[in-house]
Amino acid sequence: MIASHDTIINKELRKISHEYKGLKKFVDFGCGNGARTMIFAEFGREITGLDCDDYLLPEGKKHITFFKRNFLHSELQDNITDMVLCFDVVEHMEQPSALLQEIHRVMTSTGILILSTPNRNRLTSWPLLALGLKKYPARISKEFDQYPEYWHLTEYSEKQLHKLVEDNNFQVLEWKKIFYGLPGRKGVGSLRGLPLYHNHILILKKS
């Protein structure tokens, strides 16, 4: 299917939501405007969103219990949720391991973490990396020049991300390699796991 980056990503998240429809307590670490959080607002789930500020769209406010929180100190109880989404957050964190440890703390033993982050070696990055022209922290686009909090402090190759999650006591259940194309334009969802894909989407459990 040829479609936009957002369309393809949201389709994959919807598949995950349906595959794990028996999981009822959902927390989004980094819910943003709530658009992706709302994908999981089905099957009678209790939906909680955390972020550093309230960016929720009006529709999201109707369905999401929101808390303005530091991701490293969520103030949630231990073992309280069986489904966590952390989408495009870890690349912004100075302490990515601390983030994963906090998520690990609040998850039940049978819960899952859906972790997504840009592939360091995606189509738009690997030539720059190969030529030594891409450095970190890296701005997302010119419009974010004055907002370093939105810059990527690091990005992960498949090997680097695998080590990060294993070091923080997570086990990979599934590794989705999603979107071959240019964000803002169209591309295809998957190409049999070939390199240069844009998003890592991992489904993880506690190890």
The string of DSSP codes covering 139-206 is -SSGGGTT-GGGSBS--B-HHHHHHHHHHTTEEEEEEEEE-EE-TTSEEES-STT-S--SEEEEEEEE
Cα–Cα distance between 85 and 87 in angstroms, integer? 6
Instruction: Name the residue with higher pLDDT: 125 or 111.
Output: 111
pLDDT digits (tens, 9 = 90+) for 28-55: 999 999 999 999 999 999 999 999 999 9
All structural domains of the chain:
2-119+157-206 (3.40.50.150)
Residue given tokens 């907002």 in the structure block: 147
| Structure token digits, residue 15 | 């598949």
Express as a percent the part of the chain with pLDDT over 70. Answer: 95
Of residues 31, 80, 81, the one with CA closest to residue 59: 31
Whether the predicted model's global pTM rises above the 0.85 cut: yes
Tell me which H or E stretch contains 56. none
pLDDT digits (tens, 9 = 90+) for 134-184: 887 777 666 656 656 677 899 999 999 999 999 999 999 999 999 998 877
Cα–Cα distance between 155 and 96 in angstroms, integer? 11
Instruction: Name the residue with higher pLDDT: 126 or 38.
Output: 38
Task: Give the three-class secondary structure for 4.
Answer: strand
**Cβ 39 vs Cβ 14: under 8 Å:** yes
